[in-house]
Structure 1
Amino acid sequence: MVALIEDYIPGQEIAVEGLLDDGELTLLAVFDKPNPLNGPYFEETMYVTPSRQNKSILSAVQNQLAIACRELGLRWGPIHAECRLNESGSWIIEIACRTIGGRCGQLLESSTGRTLEEIIITNAVGQKADCRLDVEAAGVMMIPVPGRGGVVRRVEGIGEAARIPLVSSVEIDVRPGQMLVPWPEGCPYPGFIFANGEDPESVENALNAAHQQLDIILAPVLPLQVTND
């Protein structure tokens, strides 16, 4: 009999985008996740870069990830990692040979001065990706499903959210009639808010201010029972 015993790892969570060039790891961006991500389950709601962690912590994270990549046999291409930071150090939650997912990839252009696609293709053909790190602060709010979820009627406040200073775009994906299901079952995010600014704190504040302007109007999901008479 085999038993798997797991323990919850507390602490602040960060996401790391890196690029491997013949085993050498370069960090493209480190994203803070400012909102508390506590169990038993949660959804990610915000990425902000550059990280506000001190340089010694980020250097330790880079060294730890480089060792993990070598042990996994990863030598070329992008890596995406999730780590937890606490008084005991850095803990790798996930490391995968992939890029950041979905539209969040556009944040790399703000932090490096080049698009994610340019960076990956340049690396794939054996050339050095010339990136200027931390060109400006950038962040994204992955809009969470409100309350207990329900059927979308409409989304109000989009224009007001888009007019918040530093907000670059408000992208709403849900449509009337679509069902939103909260975690732990979960469903796609209702949309995304992007912001750019001089420092990560201002970006975080802009994202929160824009989110407060949005009101996703939901109708309850009525139970339906089918019987065969």
Structure 2
Amino acid sequence: MQPHLLLLTTPSSYRLPAFLAAAERIAAQITVAEDTPPTLARALPGKLLIDFSDQEAALRAICDLHATQPLTAIVPIDDSGVELAARACVRLGLPFNRPEAAAAARDKHLMRQLFARAGVPSPAFHLYSTADDLTALAQTIDYPCVVKPLRLNGSRGVIRADNPAQFIAAARRLAALLDQIEGTGTHEFLVEEFIPGFEVALEGLIDRGQVQVLALFDKPDPLDGPFFEETIYVTPSRLPIAVQREINEVTAAAAQAIGLEQGPLHAELRINERGAWMIELANRSIGGLCSRTLRFGSDTPLEELILRQAAGLPIESLSQTGQAGGVMMIPIPQAGILRSVDGIAAAEAIPGVEAVEITAPINYPLVPLPEGNSYLGFIFARGPDPATVEAALRAAHACLRFTIMPAIPLMTTTA
């Protein structure tokens, strides 16, 4: 029987095309549910346009779909759909994570509380509000610290502060961003201990509560702030085997603390002389186009593994195949309008570079971190070892030239 999978996603998702291609590979029927404002929400052939924030209405739409076209599984592609998927699966009797676990994977304060309760090594933290007296609060905090929103991802809104003045500026900057995203009002945020060290990302698949490690990425560029824009990911990791084992153990403990039982896992950890520290964990696959660096068994992409597990189909192998791989998420150097990109051919001519994909549209505005949530594009490379891959990514990036013009404010006139 052909599996019918519901993919929950957002209009701006990088990931959807890869999941659609994977669905075609396994001959699955796909319906896409896209997070859409209520004024535009409606049903289209092969697609549901529903408002994820109105979960009761979204659940009714999913149940109506299931009544006429029974679903095999619901797969959230992005963070935004994780809680809705969990609630829908409970209502329909489909396997997935408990809603409480899904909520903790989305809310960093809940996540931190569960980590602390389970003894998972993670930063010390406090919950504050933008309505608090920031000047007084700044005198009570241990520095350096990290100011962090509860539910944004991709390092958006995350700012390091080394003293009271920087903390006040960071909290106000985050408040302005949350006003823009969530509406003007009072917002809660975290203040966390800054954990120094070398950062890694772990990609896994959870099966009946057990974390199966698929890949460990090194992040060779330092991520010390004041913002935390990720750039290069390279796998396999060059860390000692004993350190990698500790990373795996901390990740498994973190997933168990939250209560995740099924689906993809993406974790960010820091490594220093005190060991491995869990920074964040998400019930989704790696962001952007970065999954292109991974192939398993006889050239199976990551998205196919995820869909096969969700549909209850056999998985050939969880072992990576081929050479070392890496990706560079091209950072946005400044705000403005992207006018042109030069040097792509020269970058792709670098030995080991497989592709350079510019995802930022020409003549559209660029917003860097901490307010932004995207990259200029991606560089992909393969080679005999991680050091060669990293060198190829850096050489290719050096070939690229971006023309970014300042944005011109709109002029208004009065009669």
User: Is structure 2 residue 326 aligned with structure 1 residue 139?
Assistant: yes
With 173-182 and 185-194 compared, the bigger mean Cα shift is at 173-182
- d(CA) in 1 for partners of 2:241, 2:306: 25
Alignment of 1:122-133 (within 5 A): 122-124=308-310, 125=312, 127-133=314-320
> Partner letter of residue 130 of structure 1?
S
Give unpaired runs (5+ residues) of structure 2.
1-126, 129-189
Question: Conserved in 2, the CA contact under 8 Å of 1:79 and 1:95?
Answer: yes
Pick the aligned partner of 1:102 from 274, 283, 288. Answer: 288
TM superposition shift of 1:48: 0.7
Q: 1:141 to 1:5 in 2, by over 3 A?
A: closer
With 127-136 and 117-126 compared, the bigger mean Cα shift is at 127-136
> Partner letter of residue 64 of structure 1?
V
- d(CA) in 2 for partners of 1:207, 1:5: 34
Helix, strand or coil at the partner of 1:44: coil
| Percent of residue pairs bearing the same amino acid type | 47
> Partner letter of residue 46 of structure 1?
I
- d(CA) in 2 for partners of 1:111, 1:178: 40
- d(CA) in 2 for partners of 1:161, 1:217: 16
User: Is structure 2 residue 241 aligned with structure 1 residue 34?
Assistant: no
- d(CA) in 2 for partners of 1:18, 1:188: 23
> Partner letter of residue 326 of structure 2?
G
With 87-96 and 123-132 compared, the bigger mean Cα shift is at 123-132
Q: Deviations over 1:172-197 (max 9, x none)?
A: 12233111122222242111110011
Equivalent position of 1:149 in the other structure: 335
Helix, strand or coil at the partner of 2:242: helix
Give unpaired runs (5+ residues) of structure 1.
none
TM superposition shift of 1:228: 3.3
Q: Deviations over 1:128-172 (max 9, x none)?
A: 5512236321111111112x3321221110111111100000111
* TM-score normalised by L of structure 2: 0.51
- d(CA) in 2 for partners of 1:13, 1:34: 8
- d(CA) in 2 for partners of 1:164, 1:31: 22
Q: 1:160 to 1:15 in 2, by over 3 A?
A: same
With 39-48 and 83-92 compared, the bigger mean Cα shift is at 39-48
- d(CA) in 2 for partners of 1:33, 1:181: 23
Question: Conserved in 2, the CA contact under 8 Å of 1:111 and 1:136?
Answer: no
Helix, strand or coil at the partner of 1:6: strand
Number of paired residues?
Answer: 227
With 155-164 and 2-11 compared, the bigger mean Cα shift is at 2-11
Question: Conserved in 1, the CA contact under 8 Å of 2:203 and 2:215?
Answer: yes
Equivalent position of 2:200 in the other structure: 14
Question: Conserved in 2, the CA contact under 8 Å of 1:139 and 1:203?
Answer: yes
User: Is structure 2 residue 254 aligned with structure 1 residue 76?
Assistant: no
With 121-130 and 164-173 compared, the bigger mean Cα shift is at 121-130
User: Is structure 2 residue 242 aligned with structure 1 residue 56?
Assistant: yes
Equivalent position of 1:192 in the other structure: 378
Q: 1:36 to 1:203 in 2, by over 3 A?
A: same
Larger Rg: 2
Question: Conserved in 2, the CA contact under 8 Å of 1:140 and 1:194?
Answer: yes
Question: Conserved in 2, the CA contact under 8 Å of 1:154 and 1:175?
Answer: no
Question: Conserved in 2, the CA contact under 8 Å of 1:151 and 1:177?
Answer: yes
Question: Conserved in 2, the CA contact under 8 Å of 1:151 and 1:221?
Answer: yes
- d(CA) in 2 for partners of 1:66, 1:46: 24
- d(CA) in 2 for partners of 1:137, 1:87: 27
Question: Conserved in 2, the CA contact under 8 Å of 1:139 and 1:204?
Answer: yes
- d(CA) in 2 for partners of 1:41, 1:199: 29
- d(CA) in 1 for partners of 2:267, 2:282: 6
Q: Deviations over 1:9-42 (max 9, x none)?
A: 1111110001122222211000111111112212
Equivalent position of 1:161 in the other structure: 347
With 65-74 and 85-94 compared, the bigger mean Cα shift is at 65-74
Question: Conserved in 2, the CA contact under 8 Å of 1:13 and 1:33?
Answer: yes
- d(CA) in 1 for partners of 2:382, 2:297: 10
> Partner letter of residue 245 of structure 2?
S
CA RMSD, Structure 1 to Structure 2 (Å) = 2.1
TM superposition shift of 1:5: 5.2
Question: Conserved in 2, the CA contact under 8 Å of 1:110 and 1:137?
Answer: no
